[in-house]
Every structure is written in C-alpha cells, then in structure tokens.
C-alpha cells in the first residue's frame, strides 16, 4: 500500500499536468477564435455586449415520448400544443369544472 506522501506527490503531479493542459487548450481556443473572426476579434464581443447580436435559436425538433423525433416545425408545434395544452372534454370534468362551466354561461354584471 502506498504511503500518504507518495499519493500526495502523485496528486500534485496530476494536478499540475491538468492545469498545464487546461491553460494550453484555453490558449489554443482563444487563438482559433481570434484567427476566424473577419478582421477584428473584438467585433463579436462588442456586438454581444451592446445587445446587437442577431443570432436567434429556432426550435425545429423535439424528442417525443417513444423516443422518436418530430420531423419539421409544424410537427414540433403540434407536439408542443398536444403536450402543454390539455384537451377540453366535458366528459372528464370534476364537480368544480362543471360548476365553473355553468358560471361562465351567465353574463357577468360589471356595473356593481
């Protein structure tokens, strides 16, 4: 069994290697980012900070309950409506729902 001192040395060596590799990869990532921007790498940062960034996310597909995916925007919208908006069926109404349905049939007197 290894002693505590040997384990600490191994830990510190592993931590040093990890931090070194992390620093190297961060530098590479920044270098790549700076070289791909058209002329000035700060343009994207200024646009983001000023709120002028125009990229939007468009949800086009969702995973359905059985693991399949929706195929297009229309299918995705239908799936979202079916999931988030319950079917309104009088046959499944509780007593409270039935009472509410009766109340909304009467006009509301707003003159009081």
Statement: residue 71 has pLDDT above 60:
yes
Residue 83: inside a domain, yes or no?
yes
Does 64 share its domain with 101? yes
- Residue pLDDT, tens place only, 12-31: 999 999 999 999 999 998 88
Task: Give the three-state DSSP class for 82.
Answer: helix
Counting the structural domains of the chain, the total is 2
**pLDDT at 26 (0 to 100):** 92
Give how far the C-alpha of residue 37 lies from the chain's centroid of Cα atoms, to the nearest Å: 26
Statement: residue 104 has pLDDT above 90:
no
Residue 80: inside a domain, yes or no?
yes
Residue 112: inside a domain, yes or no?
no
Residue 75: inside a domain, yes or no?
yes
CA dist., res. 12 & res. 23, Å (int): 16
DSSP-derived secondary structure letter, 38: S
CA dist., res. 10 & res. 7, Å (int): 5
- Residue pLDDT, tens place only, 41-68: 677 777 778 877 666 666 678 888 888 9
CA dist., res. 17 & res. 8, Å (int): 14
Using alpha carbons only, give the angle 14, 15, 18 rounded to the nearest 5 degrees. Answer: 85
Does 35 share its domain with 63? no
Domain that residue 23 falls in = 4-39
Distances (CA, A) of 91 to 87, 88, 94: 11, 9, 9
Residue 53: inside a domain, yes or no?
no
Residue 46: inside a domain, yes or no?
no
């Amino acid at each position: 069994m290894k002693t505590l001192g040997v384990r600490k040395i191994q830990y510190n060596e592993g931590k040093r290697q990890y931090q070194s590799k992390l620093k190297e990869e961060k530098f590479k990532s920044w270098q790549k980012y700076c070289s791909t921007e058209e002329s000035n790498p700060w343009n994207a940062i200024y646009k983001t900070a000023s709120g002028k960034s125009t990229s939007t996310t468009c949800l086009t597909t969702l995973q359905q309950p059985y693991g399949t995916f929706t195929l297009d925007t229309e299918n995705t919208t239908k799936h979202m409506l079916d999931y988030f908006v319950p079917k309104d069926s009088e046959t499944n109404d509780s007593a409270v729902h039935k009472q509410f349905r009766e109340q909304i049939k009467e006009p509301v007197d707003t003159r009081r």
